[in-house]
Amino acid sequence: MEDKRYTRREFIRTASFTALAGLSVPLLSSCSREEAEDFLQKNFREMTAEEKKQMIAKLEQRYLKKYGKEFQISTQEALPNTLWGYGLDLSRCIGCRRCVYACVKENNNSRNKRQSHWIRVLRLKRGNLTKLDESEHYYNPSLVPEEGFTYMPVQCQQCENPPCVKVCPVHATWKEPDGLVVVDYNWCIGCRYCMAACPYKGRVFNWGEPTIPKDEVNSSVHYLGNRPRMKSAVDKCTFCIQRVREGRYPACVEACPTGTRKFGNLLDPNSEIRYIIDNKRTFRLKEDLNTEPKFYYFFEA
């Protein structure tokens, strides 16, 4: 005959369940209904079509209230047979940073005193292309290009083997079938592991609530791309997912005054990016890390 009594393990289990339930009630009731809904929202990849629709409707309403604009939030999936690739002509970049600010505008980046930039233009002494630690990105001469310098814009390289995705503890970031590395900003917990893992400094953290002037808000957005973000979410370049999945060039490509930036489908033998790979001298940044970037730097000659 065995005594029917609590083991220590059972006691701890019951006690912790009770404590958890007791804690979570005030936790969820102390925040607004909106916040509670956000808290319980699923990861984008686990949502059904119906759930996505509801979530988009909710977001569109919220943005309308906040920015006074009708938003069109796309959840368009990757097109079949596409793998997006980027080309950048180092012999032509003059370091004018037009791309940086076109990107901020297109992608609803924060315009706080410290703007959040997804493109960083490095200035290197001519002939020192491999010495990235000697690069400078705060240069500010009256005119560019300067004698004896090369400029090298760096942004997310959309790696085929992305280290940032590997380290995310909550699967808030992943590689889409068309090769774009995206973030579900709602699912992101802001731990910034991905920023530490990225060898290209391609990710940016929203330290504060992002501010966007109402008249500058871009209302044509993608859920995984340029929708307005919130505090403590990590964001990054997506090659303008909202544009390229509709067949449009990214904003930085259109802004560049020297035509340095090229874009195309790596799986289409007639695309511009394939012409570059076939005919030009190309390299990818930090190839030795085996990240397999889809961002090709090339030279005119």
Residues in contact with other proteins by the rule CB under 8 A = 87, 89, 94-98, 100-101, 113-115, 117, 120, 137-145, 246-249, 253-254, 256-259, 262-264, 271-272, 275-276, 279-280, 300
- Are the C-beta atoms of 87 and 274 separated by less than 8 Å? no
Q: Which is nearer to other proteins, 55 or 102 (CB)?
A: 102
Q: Which is nearer to other proteins, 37 or 246 (CB)?
A: 246
- Are the C-beta atoms of 203 and 234 separated by less than 8 Å? yes
Tell me how far apart the alpha carbons of residues 260 and 256 are, in angstroms, rounded to a whole number: 7
Cis, bond preceding 210 (omega within 30 deg of 0) = no
Q: Which is nearer to other proteins, 137 or 227 (CB)?
A: 137
Q: Pull the structure tokens for residue 100.
A: 């940086």
Q: Which is nearer to other proteins, 36 or 94 (CB)?
A: 94
> What is residue 272's three-state secondary structure?
helix
Q: Which is nearer to other proteins, 58 or 101 (CB)?
A: 101
Taking the complex as a whole, the smallest distance from the CB of residue 166 to other proteins amounts, in Å, to: 27
Taking the complex as a whole, the smallest distance from the CB of residue 56 to other proteins amounts, in Å, to: 24
Q: Which residue in 153, 178, 25, 31 sits closest to 89, CA to CA? A: 153
Sequence length of the chain is 301
Taking the complex as a whole, the smallest distance from the CB of residue 217 to other proteins amounts, in Å, to: 20
What's the chain's Rg over C-alpha atoms? 23
Taking the complex as a whole, the smallest distance from the CB of residue 182 to other proteins amounts, in Å, to: 21
Q: Which is nearer to other proteins, 60 or 235 (CB)?
A: 235
**How far from the centroid of its chain's Cα atoms is residue 157's Cα?**
10
∠ at Cα 226 (223, 229), nearest 5°?
Answer: 85
Taking the complex as a whole, the smallest distance from the CB of residue 131 to other proteins amounts, in Å, to: 20
Tell me how far apart the alpha carbons of residues 235 and 183 are, in angstroms, rounded to a whole number: 7
Q: Which residues are CB-neighbours of 130 under 8 A, at least 6 positions away?
A: none
Neighbouring CB atoms inside 10 A of 206's CB total 20
Taking the complex as a whole, the smallest distance from the CB of residue 225 to other proteins amounts, in Å, to: 17
- CA dihedral in degrees (10, 12, 15, 16; nearest 10)? -120
Taking the complex as a whole, the smallest distance from the CB of residue 273 to other proteins amounts, in Å, to: 10
Taking the complex as a whole, the smallest distance from the CB of residue 178 to other proteins amounts, in Å, to: 13
Q: Which is nearer to other proteins, 141 or 177 (CB)?
A: 141
> Is the sign of the CA dihedral 180, 181, 185, 187 positive or negative?
positive
Q: Which is nearer to other proteins, 139 or 283 (CB)?
A: 139
Q: Pull the structure tokens for residue 179.
A: 């090769």
- Are the C-beta atoms of 249 and 241 separated by less than 8 Å? no
